[in-house]
Structure 1
Amino acid sequence: MAQHNIIVAGCGGMSNQWLDYAAERENAEIVGLVDIFEESAVKMKERRGLNVPTFTDLSQALAETDANLVFDVTIPASHKTIVTTAMKAGRNVFGEKPMAESLADAQEIADVSKATGKRYSVMQNRRYLKQIRAFRELVQSGAIGQIGTIHADFFLGPHFGGFRDAMDSPLIVDMAIHTFDQARFISGADPVSVYCHEFNPPGSWYKGNASAVCIFEMSDGSVFTYRGSWCAQGLPTSWESEWRVIGSSGTAKWDGHSLPVCAVVDESKPVEFFAAVKPVEAEDRWQGREGHKGCLDEMFAALEQGRPAETDCTDNIKSVAMVFAAVESARTGKKVAL
């Protein structure tokens, strides 16, 4: 079994989940902590009881340790620098979403990955839930016929504070990547174009636009619509969004919490004003772990098997492209091709 010696870049709250995971893995060891504010790294070291050096510079950390893997848990603005520095130094990287703050930066990261042969896998933990796995299997089984439309609603009102409150497009850039990636995962299709209207409604505590409506045309001819807000207080949706997929012979729904439900046309009954329908049961077959742990399990398995992870940057850039095309559409008021 390969040994993974890990540098953790970024010592904020999110890094705790990554450190918890490394602590339970027999072939993983933390060998250094990096943060631009070294006191943050020192506090994390003391809090976790780690006997490792701390650094403010990733290049120095890589040069002075035997790390072969970097966990990038920094803010989005730092991702390109952290990831490209690590890969150019011959290390693989697992990191938090989004890949980067711009599509150009994300493309540069993907290019460096291809040039160096090093992997960069992105945390898309919302793919790793038994409910979404059942939903995907149901949709892609052909039970509802040919997919025509995919709808996702995301309405929450979290008060984060910090960098999100100051972002220009906090919902689309920092959060919608999850839902956009889920749409690709559920449908098996990739985006072709998007029209997006982005706005900041009354009562918002965000500086930038915290609400948006998007219409994506997909590669299989279907249309994916997204309605979202990060300042919607009361009657929240799931963090996983609420979904409806309509096919040529039925509909599947998922509330983001329970197993999906499905109804399809009952071909044994005569067609009246409304066609008779019958339920189709979703099957809970996912045997893997869920959330961050499920995604990290896949990242490590892919690295050890010498293959791209499901969320490898060369695939995840398609989800990232949806984000920045939506932002461009909102800025110009025009439909944008991907």
Structure 2
Amino acid sequence: MKRYRIAVAGCGGMARTWVEYALKREDAEIVALVDLYPEAAKAMADRYGLACGTYTDLKTAIAESGANLVFDVTIPATHHTIGKTALEAGCHVFGEKPMAATMDEARDLIATAERTGKSLSVMQNRRYDANIRALRGLILGGTIGKVGYVGADFFLGPHFGGFRDAMDSPLILDMAIHTFDQARLVIGADPVSVYCHEFNPPGSWYKGNAAAVCIFEMSDGSTFCYRGSWCAEGAPTSWEASWRITGERGTAIWDGHNAPYAEVVAAGDQEGKFFRDCERAEASFDWEGRGGHAGCLDEMFAAVAEGRRAETDCRDNIHSIAMVLGALESAKTGRKIWLNEL
């Protein structure tokens, strides 16, 4: 019997990446497909030639298939139910972001993971990129000195259709968590407070607010400013956002596509100069992991095998979801939110 017996919860388009990854692992097999719509599970089985059972109920699927790992690729509103059901049935859980729809649900999932001794890790695939790891190296290596400001711009116009078009806050709830989580990774700090203005620009095809400006105070004393829109036609940024990070000795830049770099104050006497001379510092590339979903799933599987917490374990990821839910609370109330209030 293979080590990982996987039940896939949610058989929509996003699940394909997860299924294709699992099918390439020699130590894993898919033993159940679960979806509220039986035809979706059946279509997934047919697409990949899977002979496993198809179900509409996760608890039944786990019991009948002997699954010990659940991929939760359902919509955000069901992550708490799916995660808790799987953990209590004795399964590890690898889930799509966000971990849960509320902080109460997120805390309950952490408590359930603690009680059951099983792991719950969250897909934050945009951490797994050679460029962002190189940017992190520039910052944590002290190239620009103590960080004061972190800025990330995210402007794209994807026409998804489906549930995102109907969400109340599609940008912040479904996408901005990636950039928020990246900021935590890059500077090695957690959020303290947030002020957010959320809005829906002219021409938006989303029902809910698809644009936002957020200002976070971080635990290292820096300020993180996020500016984003999911209905910005023309001149798109990268999906990884466009970054500017300023420190006491210089600035680091990453456009989300090319290698990051820094410009730092050059050595030597520059007393009296209006603008000081700067020199370019290239980033080092020493991260050898795979990119995207594969890299994050590699880490999740390795953590289970090694008996440790994954980098995106629920107990760490709660800081990223706090940024999301804090931003939404700020937008709703029009005030600055201290995240310990959550």
| Fold conserved between structures, TM > 0.5 | yes
* Superposed CA offset, 1:270-301 (max 9, x none): 23111111111101111111000000000000
Match of 1:281 in 2: 282
Local SS of the residue matching 1:280? strand
Local SS of the residue matching 2:268? coil
Q: CA deviation at 1:179?
A: 0.4
Match of 1:117 in 2: 117
Local SS of the residue matching 2:111? helix
Match of 1:330 in 2: 331
Match of 2:249 in 1: 249
Match of 1:295 in 2: 296
Match of 1:214 in 2: 214
Distance in 2 (CA, whole Å) between partners of 1:111 and 1:239 is 33
Counterpart residue type for residue 321 of structure 2 = V
Moved over 6 A (4+): none
* Superposed CA offset, 1:218-274 (max 9, x none): 001000000000000000000000001100000000001111011101121423111
Q: CA deviation at 1:114?
A: 1.4
Local SS of the residue matching 2:282? coil
Preserved contact between residue 244 and residue 252 of structure 1 (Cα < 8 Å): yes
Preserved contact between residue 269 and residue 276 of structure 1 (Cα < 8 Å): no
* Superposed CA offset, 1:15-74 (max 9, x none): 110111111111000001000111110111111100101100000001101111000011
- Count the aligned residue pairs: 338
Q: CA deviation at 1:2?
A: 7.2
Match of 1:149 in 2: 149
* Superposed CA offset, 1:118-140 (max 9, x none): 10110000000000000001111
TM-score (norm 2): 0.97
Distance in 2 (CA, whole Å) between partners of 1:219 and 1:279 is 28
Which structure 1 residue ranges, 5 or more long, are not aligned?
A: none
Preserved contact between residue 199 and residue 209 of structure 1 (Cα < 8 Å): yes
Matches within 5 A, 1:43-54: 43-54=43-54
Preserved contact between residue 245 and residue 253 of structure 2 (Cα < 8 Å): yes
Pair 1:202 & 2:202 matched: yes
Q: CA deviation at 1:113?
A: 1.1
Distance in 1 (CA, whole Å) between partners of 2:248 and 2:34 is 52
Distance in 2 (CA, whole Å) between partners of 1:334 and 1:21 is 43
Distance in 2 (CA, whole Å) between partners of 1:199 and 1:230 is 11
Match of 2:126 in 1: 126
Preserved contact between residue 2 and residue 304 of structure 1 (Cα < 8 Å): no
Preserved contact between residue 2 and residue 29 of structure 2 (Cα < 8 Å): no
Match of 2:108 in 1: 108
Distance in 1 (CA, whole Å) between partners of 2:201 and 2:4 is 46
Preserved contact between residue 136 and residue 186 of structure 2 (Cα < 8 Å): yes
Aligned-residue RMSD, C-alpha: 1.0
Distance in 1 (CA, whole Å) between partners of 2:30 and 2:266 is 56
Preserved contact between residue 71 and residue 93 of structure 1 (Cα < 8 Å): yes
Preserved contact between residue 165 and residue 206 of structure 2 (Cα < 8 Å): yes
* Superposed CA offset, 1:189-235 (max 9, x none): 00000000000110001111000000000001000000000000000
Choose 76-85 or 98-107, whichever is displaced more.
Answer: 98-107
Matches within 5 A, 1:1-338: 3-271=3-271, 272-338=273-339
Choose 83-92 or 268-277, whichever is displaced more.
Answer: 268-277
Local SS of the residue matching 2:189? coil
* Superposed CA offset, 1:66-121 (max 9, x none): 11100001111111110000001111000111111122211211111112111011
